[in-house]
Amino acid sequence: MRKPPKFVTVAMLIIAVLISTVGIAKAATETQKQAAIASGLAWLAAQQYGDGSFAAYSGYPIASTASALLSFEEQYYKQGNSWGSLNGGLGYGTVVTNAANYLLNNVSTASLAPANWWGFTGTYGDKTGAYWGYGEEAYQTGLALSAIARLTSGINGITPGTPVTTGPLSGQTYLNVIQRAVDQITWSQTGPDYAPYNGGWHYLINAPQLDADNSTAQWPVIGLTFAKPVPGVTVYSQTATELKKWVSYIQNTTINDGTLGSSGYMAPVGSYNNEAKTGGLLVEMQYAGGGGNQALALAYLNANWTNGASTWFGNFDQPYAMWSIYKGLQETIGLGDTTTITNLHSPAGIMDPGDTWNWWEDYCNSLVISQNGDGSWPGYWWYWGSDLSTAWNINILNATAVPPPHGTPEPATLSLLVAGLLGAGIVRRKVKG
């Protein structure tokens, strides 16, 4: 059973009433967006378990916790490194601390030997990497790395040089944890001996992979994208160079069957091609610095923009797809673009002065309308419960920047401590999201 909510305040109830009584007679205003964010964060905070985790309807509490943590972090930074009036002025510092500690308590380590396809055995002399999860580790590690990396911009006083005080890597710094996760992702990338899968990732990252899929590959890449701006972190050019080959392979650039420009799962055509993978493909293109055809990917998303949700397919009301597409479009064309995605829903009315109707406003309007009265958003299908959907939707409304900025660099010590745990192999389970 969940512990009783601690954060359901009078302010939250007022916000919920405001949203329900004002109605959405026009496109979502900034006031409505912020009210939706505040209400969503209050609901999320009330869902946190005593160990710092959040609900995992799909059985992956790492994913839910990391996604929730990122939503609190982004709001803190957007408010000028302040909680403002959130939670009655008390803020969510304790929520952030407990969520971060849950992730740190559940990190695993693995040997990065033997060397991978380009001779890499890690940044540190102990040849040890770090990852999260058991099964579908690439998903979970990408999400956890994003949240831990973002934490070091100064929230709760945490910087890259701050020592970790809990979990298997206690005594090392946040920088060490981030670097070890980067190293694990780097080491596990599929190499050229396994073309055409080279440059991608599959579910497991505690062992070298022999193939890849593009429901998975976007998540290690987004983790690297969040880690890269952290002062002191080293990312390796070989990863981006090889990723470019995967991007070029997995995109349908030849067959005009309605999926032209989209990303497939393990093959470019007839392989669960959909909008979510194509949003992830754009993220991969940005990180790799090329590969594939960006214009075709954007045209595919435009043609399918108004699609609703269907299992792991679709766009609107599919939280996994919307967060994936948001990341890709935010990085590629920006939040203000009005010329690329034009197949929009009709705006309901006049927006805030100076705003124009475009893809991001279409998303925001939809999210404000679909929010539940308690501040949450509906989950969808088995994998994406309300905790995940609420966290991701808050980040969309908050105009989360990918890649994120980082605070003023602070010198951090590069610890060379030897870690002891070797991650155990887990049987792969196919999920074609």
Q: What DSSP string describes 113-164?
A: -S--TTS---SSTT-EEEEE-SSSHHHHHHHHHHHHHHHTTTGGG--TTPBP
> Does 412 score more than 70 pLDDT?
no
Q: Name the β-bridge partners of 108.
A: 131
Q: What is the mean pLDDT of residues 310-324?
A: 91
According to the model, what pLDDT value does residue 63 have?
Answer: 94
* Closest to 271 (Cα-Cα) out of 283, 279, 259, 282: 259
> Does 210 score more than 50 pLDDT?
yes
Predicted TM-score of the model (pTM): 0.87
* Closest to 281 (Cα-Cα) out of 296, 303, 302: 296
Q: Which one is predicted more confidently, 131 or 87?
A: 131
CATH class of 10-397: mainly alpha
At residue 407 the predicted structure's pLDDT band, cuts being 50, 70 and 90, is low
222-241: b or e for each residue (b if 16 or more CB lie within 10 Å)? bbbbbbbbbbbbebbebbbe
Least confident of 17-26, 102-111, 135-144: 17-26
Which residues, other chains included, contact 201 with Cβ-Cβ below 8 Å and sequence gap of 6+?
138, 185, 188, 189, 190, 209, 212, 216, 217, 219, 220
Is 174 in contact with 100 (CB distance < 8 Å)?
no
CA torsion sign for 292, 293, 296, 298 is: positive
> Does 395 score more than 80 pLDDT?
yes
Strands of 337-381 (E only): list them. Answer: none
Least confident of 195-209, 230-244, 411-425: 411-425
Q: What is the mean pLDDT of residues 310-322?
A: 90
- The DSSP call for residue 21 is H
Least confident of 19-23, 271-275, 301-305, 379-383: 19-23
Tokens 């981006």, located at residue: 240
